Structure formats: C-alpha cells, structure tokens
Amino acid sequence: MAVASRLRRMGFGVQEAPRNGKYDLLINGELRVALRVAFPGRYAHTVKVNGRRYAYDYKSWNFNFHRHGRWERRYCDVFVCVAKHRRTADETFVIPASVITGPTFSLHGAGKAYRGRYAAYRNRWSVFATLQTGAETRSQEVA
C-alpha cells in the first residue's frame, strides 16, 4: 500500500495485478512492478586471522528475484525492495530489472551503509519516470 500511495503521489496511475500474476503493480498500464519486502534475519560470519577465529553476527535482509527457484529475466520491469527495520526508517531500493545480475540480493547490516552493486538505487524513485518516458517513446515508434 505504501509503495502504491507513493507512486500515485508522484502522478502515476497504479493498478494492482491479479493475485496469480508474476508482478504486483502495473504503472500507467505499462510498467510491471514486483514488490519484495524483507525482515531482518541473521547472517553469521567467521573469519580466521593469524590462527585466531573471529565471529560476527549481522542482521541481513534477503530479496529473491527468482520465482520458484527459476530465474526468468523479463517477468517485470522494476523491483521495489523494502528492508523493514524495527527502530529506524525502512530502506527502499528501486531497481530496474534490466540491471539485475543474479537471482538474489542480500543487504547486510554491518553498521555501515550498503555500498554494493545496487547502492545507486537506494530511494531512486526517479527510475519510474525514466522507464515511463522510454515506454512512451517505444509506443510512439510502433504507432
């Protein structure tokens, strides 16, 4: 609901997809959006340095881009990944499907801000305007 409300405030027409659909929202009748919401889990990690073992226990949010274990590239146009936090604001990543490089995305909470492959897409709601402009151009070229 929060994602749909935000997109409506941005001026987009938002429709919910059928329950058995491969995506969750349809934007302006063209852009397919898959929502991914994750709650924190544990990421246990050990390192051995000079014979000494160090154990770390991080919070981790995991997002699956695959469906039922299979990685189908074109079932949506945009992924909106929301990492739910208990005491602070949720983190949102708006990632075009065209830049996804694998079946999952893991966000590890090691005390520092995420700086990985999808860091540039943190709160990048402008992705929708960019993709919508591209969709309009493609439909005009067809006509």
Question: Is the same domain home to 59 and 85?
Answer: yes
Tokens of 83: 């990492």
- What is the reported pLDDT for 140? 42
- What is the reported pLDDT for 56? 79
Total-model pTM: 0.80
- What is the reported pLDDT for 71? 65
Distance of alpha carbon 22 from alpha carbon 47, whole angstroms = 40
Low-confidence ranges of the chain (pLDDT < 70): 67-73, 110, 133-143
Whether 66 and 103 have beta carbons less than 8 Å apart is answered as: yes
Residue 15: exposure state from Cβ atoms within 10 A (0-12, 13-18, ≥19): exposed
Question: Is the same domain home to 24 and 42?
Answer: no
Distance of alpha carbon 129 from alpha carbon 73, whole angstroms = 21
Is residue 129 in some structural domain? Answer: no
- What is the reported pLDDT for 68? 64
**Residue labelled with tokens 């065209």:** 98
- Structural domain count of the chain: 2
For residue 92, CA distances in Å to 7, 63, 110, 114, 130 come to 13, 12, 17, 12, 18
Question: Is the same domain home to 47 and 23?
Answer: no
Question: Is the same domain home to 14 and 40?
Answer: no
- What is the reported pLDDT for 142? 42
- What is the reported pLDDT for 135? 54
Beta-carbon contacts of 13 under 8 Å, excluding residues fewer than 6 positions away, are 27, 28, 29
**Residue labelled with tokens 């981790």:** 60
> What is the tens place of the pLDDT at every residue in 11-29?
999 999 888 778 999 999 9
17: domain range?
1-30
